[in-house]
Structure 1
């Protein structure tokens, strides 16, 4: 069995994810998101979907980007 890097659970169905934000072994997608998903630069929530990026900063939505002074991003066309 493998131990989750976030919660420490020793689980027979643990999995490993490797990507540009790091690598880890997890017992659930919840733990993987907590460890690897970027956080919104405005509200701090974890970005699970596409989100938006501007000048190297990540936002969960166009609203948060606008609240941070970014112009020209829309949630829909």
Structure 2
């Protein structure tokens, strides 16, 4: 068993995620998202989908990107 880096739960079905030189052990996808998902530069939510990136900032959607001044991005065309 391994202990979750986020909540501390010692769980027999824990798993690890590796991203470059970052590594974490988690008991659930919820904890893994909390630790690894980028945050929207506008609203601060965890980006668990594709999101959008502009000028080294991440946004959860085109709406948030537009509210931050990004031009030329749409959720639907």
TM range (shorter): over 0.9
- Return closer, same or farther for 1:48/1:57 CA change in 2, 3 Å cut-off: same
Aligned length, in residue pairs: 77
1-side partners of 2:62 and 2:21: how far apart? 22
SS for the counterpart of 1:16 is strand
**Runs (5+) with no aligned partner, structure 1:** none
**Runs (5+) with no aligned partner, structure 2:** none
TM-score, scaled relative to structure 1: 0.96
What's the CA shift for 1:61? 0.3
Which consecutive segments of 4 or more residues in structure 1 shift more than 2 A?
Answer: none
Alignment of 1:21-40 (within 5 A): 22-40=22-40
Shifted more, 40-49 versus 15-24: the winner is 15-24
